[in-house]
Structure 1
Amino acid sequence: MKRINKKKVLVSVFALSLVGSTTAAEFIYKPASPIEIASDLQKIEGGQLDRYHKPFEIQRLSENVYWVSVSYYNVTVIVGQNSVLLIDAPMWGGKRVLDAIKTITDKPLSAIVYSHSHADHVGGVGEIIEELGNRVIDLYATEEVRNSFIAHKMNMPEPTKIISNRINFEGHDIKVNKTLIGHASDNTIFLIKDGNRKILHAVDIVHPDQLEFRNFSLAEDPILYQNDIDTLLSMDWDVMVTGHSNLGYKEDVKFLQGYISDIRKYLHEGFKTTNLHDHLKSDVPFEWYDSYSREVIDYAYRLLSKKYRLGREKEFDINARTHIDVYLWEMISRGLTP
């Protein structure tokens, strides 16, 4: 009897999931390794539920940079000459991130960077500080992140170092990018060059190996979010720490770019075939727009389903309508309808 090659099956399944996108990449799925540096297009094998229940996973990305996954969240660990810098610390996962760092190096954690002010990604900073016995560490953030903590009255440890263009950390020159703000107005992207590897830490923009969370991870500005996707593709980087799910590559970004483009194309067609005046049947304007928008969304959903639902039925059925709804109202409000 011929044996099934599990690795080939994993590769083929995800290649199938990229049908209709600009590329069908053959990703390589292997167990996470804190020792072996991930090769190009290498991802971490295992499902989301399996990953959620593990204490942590570690994948080495370069000589001094590591991807660490805690439940459904992932962070970047940078080992410097004398100590460690951590980018993000997920809520309820602070202690496990510390445990993971201790398996990587004996060097102490001396700095944490806030990527943005969403507590699910940075809410574990306080827990880490407590685990360290309230030892003083540097807390880096942009002015926008600090101001968001204050404006939203968040109970977060206050940043001690305000950053703008770069972070110089023990031999590492980390570039700071504050222009990709479709997800959140304070979202911060970090580019780390370590040897010949260029690692991007960009949270909540792309969720590799799956469709995006509802409303594209609650994107504050969907048009700017789409622009961010284009910007990511124009940047020079090799592998991305995405905040959720798996390692990310430009092939993942291209898939998302095509998905959003199709949503807007199908909505454009839906607007052309739907007449608002056909829905003026009551004295309640909200009812007009609700009925009209549902007809346009249904039209786009049918077309999107034909192209993207196969092989990802559950996540498509949960999230796809929210993706269409976000762009319908954004296109209307920005005057982008035909």
Structure 2
Amino acid sequence: MRKSPRFGYSVIFTGLLALSANAMGAVKEAPSTVNAKYVTPSSTQVLTPGEKVANLFTLNMKTPYVLQRVTQRTYWYESGFYATLFYVGDKGVMLFDPLEERADKILQAIRQVTDKPINTIVYSHDHGDHIGSTAALLQLLVKTQNTKPEIIASQATADKMQLLDSQLPRPTKVISWPNGSFTFENLTVQMYGFEHAAHTDDHSAWLLVGEHVLHAPDLLNPDQPPFWNFGGSERFTFLVQNLEQANGLDWTYFSGGHGNIGSHADFAFYLQFIADLKSAVANAMQKVPFGFGVKMDQINAHTVMLPAWYGEISRLATEELRPKYGQYYGFETATLANAEMVAEYLYSYR
């Protein structure tokens, strides 16, 4: 059995939050990308379509977690900038993605609204920052319920966990890929796998059919421009197709694993941002000659040339977008990396 370091991105992030929360003063929240109506989060009041949680950055920095009732039975949870969903049925609870380092907080949030057992855990995809607390949660549940939850994942996720010798608890029920479904009590959950995925090869979107809620972590951060490397995506190549596939499904509320609660307006914003970014990168590629910034008489390896070229292209593209998008959440720290991924895509596929 291989051993992996426990010190992951989420652990680093949690430590930074602990250091910064006490020192944080009053901050001005970034403006909405979709002119959203903001409301104070509530574990009892159902969210009206299009509404978003107010002061979300501050809440993530200063409170243990944020809990918002989305529908009569579906709840949205976020802490430390990581989000997920749980559904309360007549007999039990279904939880998506036990987020890394958050088992105790997630269980506390669930117990805030129900004492029913957690019967089902669903893995959206095999990334440890989203499902890394499964073992810890199972240990907590041993003390409070008699039966272990069923763990559901797609065949693609199960195969990937097997191939990579995952140390996380394996699924006990596997559904077909790329399209599969299961029933939790009276609720149908339909999984739509991205056959050509940008984020990771087992990435998928999970539709709570009767609830009109879609859960697809790392596809899109609602109310924000794309995060660094498009949410840690392994490639940009298929992102637009993935966004269009998810946007075309029948849902009202979107859970993206980060950011706020989403709507179709967030998808429209993302697609427009990407279109503008591709245009800006293409413009920059025409302006920046290959070999820019490299003193040819002072190098002994050609490998410096491509990064220097991409770097200047990304800088120019970011500058072109700044007047339109510069005021939005995380623009300055994410757009350079995203522009570089787009430059690689445009250079490779013509």
TM-score of the superposed pair, with normalisation by structure 1: 0.86
How far apart, in 1, do the equivalents of 2:278 and 2:295 lie?
25
Deviation at 1:103, TM superposition (A): 1.5
How far apart, in 2, do the equivalents of 1:72 and 1:296 lie?
30
Task: Give the corresponding residue for 1:21.
Answer: none
| Amino acid in structure 2 at the alignment position of 1:209 | D
SS in 1 for 2:277: helix
- Is 1:227 matched with 2:244? no
Deviation at 1:109, TM superposition (A): 0.6
| Amino acid in structure 2 at the alignment position of 1:55 | P
How many residue pairs get aligned? The number is 313
How far apart, in 1, do the equivalents of 2:97 and 2:328 lie?
32
SS in 2 for 1:229: helix
Q: Deviations over 1:127-152 (max 9, x none)?
A: 11000118422000111111222222
| Amino acid in structure 2 at the alignment position of 1:318 | T
2:325 paired residue among 305, 308, 312: 308
State how 1:79-158 maps to structure 2 within 5 Å.
79-133=88-142, 135-158=147-170
Bigger CA drift: 302-311 or 95-104? 302-311
2:230 paired residue among 216, 222, 242: 216
For the 8 Å contact 1:226–1:257, the answer to whether it is kept is yes
SS in 2 for 1:207: coil
Q: Deviations over 1:10-30 (max 9, x none)?
A: 8xx735xx4xxxxxx431211
Q: Deviations over 1:43-73 (max 9, x none)?
A: 1112324224422222112221111223321
For the 8 Å contact 2:43–2:69, the answer to whether it is kept is yes
| Amino acid in structure 2 at the alignment position of 1:294 | G
Task: Give the corresponding residue for 1:4.
Answer: none
Q: Deviations over 1:222-250 (max 9, x none)?
A: 02112212223222210101111210111
Overall identity of the aligned pairs, in %: 23
User: Unaligned stretches of 5+ in structure 1?
Assistant: 1-8, 19-24
How far apart, in 1, do the equivalents of 2:45 and 2:348 lie?
49
- Is 1:14 matched with 2:31? yes
Q: Deviations over 1:203-240 (max 9, x none)?
A: 11111222322111121120211221222322221010
How far apart, in 2, do the equivalents of 1:175 and 1:311 lie?
33
Task: Give the corresponding residue for 2:60.
Answer: 51
Task: Give the corresponding residue for 1:22.
Answer: none
- Cα RMSD over matched residues? 2.1
How far apart, in 1, do the equivalents of 2:103 and 2:121 lie?
11
How far apart, in 2, do the equivalents of 1:277 and 1:82 lie?
64
- Is 1:166 matched with 2:181? yes
2:70 paired residue among 56, 61, 64: 61
- Is 1:291 matched with 2:308? yes
How far apart, in 1, do the equivalents of 2:56 and 2:75 lie?
20
How far apart, in 2, do the equivalents of 1:37 and 1:277 lie?
56
How far apart, in 2, do the equivalents of 1:291 and 1:157 lie?
43
Bigger CA drift: 125-134 or 278-287? 278-287
Deviation at 1:275, TM superposition (A): 3.0
Q: Deviations over 1:243-285 (max 9, x none)?
A: 1121011111111111111111111112222332776835532
Deviation at 1:40, TM superposition (A): 1.2
> Structure 1 residues 125, 277: CA separation in 2 closer, same or farther (over 3 Å shift)?
closer
Deviation at 1:290, TM superposition (A): 3.0
How far apart, in 1, do the equivalents of 2:308 and 2:31 lie?
37
How far apart, in 2, do the equivalents of 1:319 and 1:311 lie?
11
How far apart, in 2, do the equivalents of 1:46 and 1:288 lie?
43
| Amino acid in structure 1 at the alignment position of 2:218 | D
TM-score of the superposed pair, with normalisation by structure 2: 0.83
How far apart, in 2, do the equivalents of 1:53 and 1:155 lie?
32
Deviation at 1:77, TM superposition (A): 0.8
For the 8 Å contact 2:291–2:306, the answer to whether it is kept is no
Task: Give the corresponding residue for 1:259.
Answer: 273
How far apart, in 2, do the equivalents of 1:280 and 1:60 lie?
58
Q: Deviations over 1:266-320 (max 9, x none)?
A: 11112222332776835532233233323322321221222211355xx222111
For the 8 Å contact 1:176–1:191, the answer to whether it is kept is yes
Task: Give the corresponding residue for 1:5.
Answer: none
Q: Deviations over 1:308-333 (max 9, x none)?
A: 11355xx2221110010111112212
SS in 2 for 1:244: coil
SS in 1 for 2:208: strand
